[in-house]
Amino acid sequence: MREDGKIDYVEFPAGDLVPLKAFYRAAFGWTFTDYGPAYCAMSEGLDGGFNAEASDRAAAPLVILYAHDLAAMEARVRAAGGAVTRPIYGFPGGRRFHFRDPAGNELAVWSEG
């Protein structure tokens, strides 16, 4: 069961998904679910995905937390001193927002609804 504020998903930056998926399939036996040409998800212990969308490509993996009430969690992040870098937006499967913590780490929070 998903819980508020717990690590729920890790999103890795990617270039060409074809060789990347082939590598993880051959090396670790991973399987993937494609969500269009620029995104694929995997469930190999902790759920995660590879994002090849150039505008979303980060320099490091993106740790994604969960929230049942996304707007309330965004308010809590702001009140605690986090800087929202991408306000709540929709994507296939839910909604999320991105923020930076006081050390400059970028994370995201998502919700199914």
* pLDDT tens digits along 31-86: 999 999 999 999 887 889 988 886 666 678 899 999 999 999 999 999 988 999 99
Q: Which residue has the tokens 């270039």?
A: 15
pTM above 0.85, yes or no: no
Assign domain 7-111 one CATH number from 3.40.50.1580, 3.30.565.10, 3.30.70.1060, 3.10.180.10.
3.10.180.10
Phi, psi (degrees; rounded to nearest 5) at 2: -75, 145
Q: How far is CA 83 from CA 15, 49, 54, 70, in A?
A: 27, 24, 23, 15
